[in-house]
């Protein structure tokens, strides 16, 4: 079995995804930004504790050459790539009055163009029957989010990218988007740029499932989309939110 490359893999959804894919027999490439404050070795430890195999490769998805090196090393190490999960992303609070060109470009370079670079570089090294999965958000994919127009734009744009690639790369490769709802991760726990602990606690009562999601809820779907059981699913944006976006507003 070839590699499963996961970007943004040092924590949260990325870490849980590495563990899930390793449990299915994939050799996991823990792709992480060197400036990430979270320790990617903890992801490796979680994978190996579950009996899997993982390797850390540093990458900045804003740099095409670095992404190319990531995929080349994954290919060489594992004999091809079976799965690529474009999960690397940043989150910054910025009202429109403060949304400079620089802030806009920084967000899209990581959260949208970084996804393009990841999928584009993986494609020539992917084994037939492989899976590409991008991680979006209900912010942009479903809802607007005040003070986060750049983030929501990137996450919405990802869906158009994935739908187009699904048609272009069929039938050899499936390409899908996972759209997380309110998930407790280091990113969402940030009280400055996101909801913070109190915000997550307050919103839990609005979720039909009765709780905020955990990274493993998202990783389970990613693992399925990477499996042979999902071979007829492509070009889809699948929301995982405990029913949050379909509840009747009150």
74 class by beta-carbon count within 10 Å (0-12 exposed, 13-18 middle, 19+ buried):
buried
Tokens of 79: 């004999």
Under a CB-based contact definition with an 8 Å cutoff, are residues 18 and 9 in contact?
Answer: yes
- Write down the catalytic residue from 143, 151, 232, 244: 151
Q: Which of 98, 101, 161 is nearest to 133 (CA)?
A: 161
195 contacts: CB under 8 Å, gap ≥ 6: 182, 188, 189, 203
Q: Give the sign of the dihedral formed by CA 77, CA 78, CA 81, CA 83.
A: negative
- Separation of alpha carbons 149 and 7, rounded Å: 23
The 3-state DSSP class for residue 112 equals: coil
151 is catalytic: yes
- Write down the catalytic residue from 155, 201, 232, 244: 155
The 3-state DSSP class for residue 161 equals: helix
155 is catalytic: yes
Give catalytic residue positions. Answer: 151, 155
């Amino acid at each position: 079995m070839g590699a499963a490359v996961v970007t943004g893999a040092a924590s949260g959804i990325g870490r849980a995804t590495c563990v899930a894919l390793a449990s299915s027999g994939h050799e996991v490439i823990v792709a992480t930004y060197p400036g990430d404050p979270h320790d990617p070795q903890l992801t490796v430890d979680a994978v190996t504790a579950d009996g899997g195999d993982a390797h850390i490769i540093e990458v900045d998805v804003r740099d095409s050459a670095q992404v190319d090196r990531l995929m080349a090393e994954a290919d060489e190490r594992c004999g091809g790539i079976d799965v690529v999960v474009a999960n690397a992303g940043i989150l910054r609070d910025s009202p429109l009055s403060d949304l400079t060109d620089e802030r806009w470009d920084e967000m899209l370079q990581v959260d949208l163009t970084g996804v393009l670079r990841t999928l584009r570089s993986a494609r020539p090294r992917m084994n037939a029957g492989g899976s590409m999965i991008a991680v979006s958000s209900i912010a942009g994919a479903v809802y607007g989010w005040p003070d986060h127009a750049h983030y929501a734009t990137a996450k919405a744009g990802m869906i158009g990218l994935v739908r187009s690639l699904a048609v272009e790369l069929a039938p050899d490769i499936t390409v899908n988007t996972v759209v997380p709802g309110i998930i407790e991760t280091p990113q969402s726990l940030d009280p400055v740029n996101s909801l913070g602990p109190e915000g997550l606690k307050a919103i839990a009562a609005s979720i039909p499932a009765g709780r905020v999601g955990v990274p493993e809820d998202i990783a389970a779907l990613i693992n399925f989309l990477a499996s042979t059981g999902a071979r007829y699913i492509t070009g889809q944006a699948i929301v995982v939110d405990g029913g949050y976006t379909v509840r009747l507003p009150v």
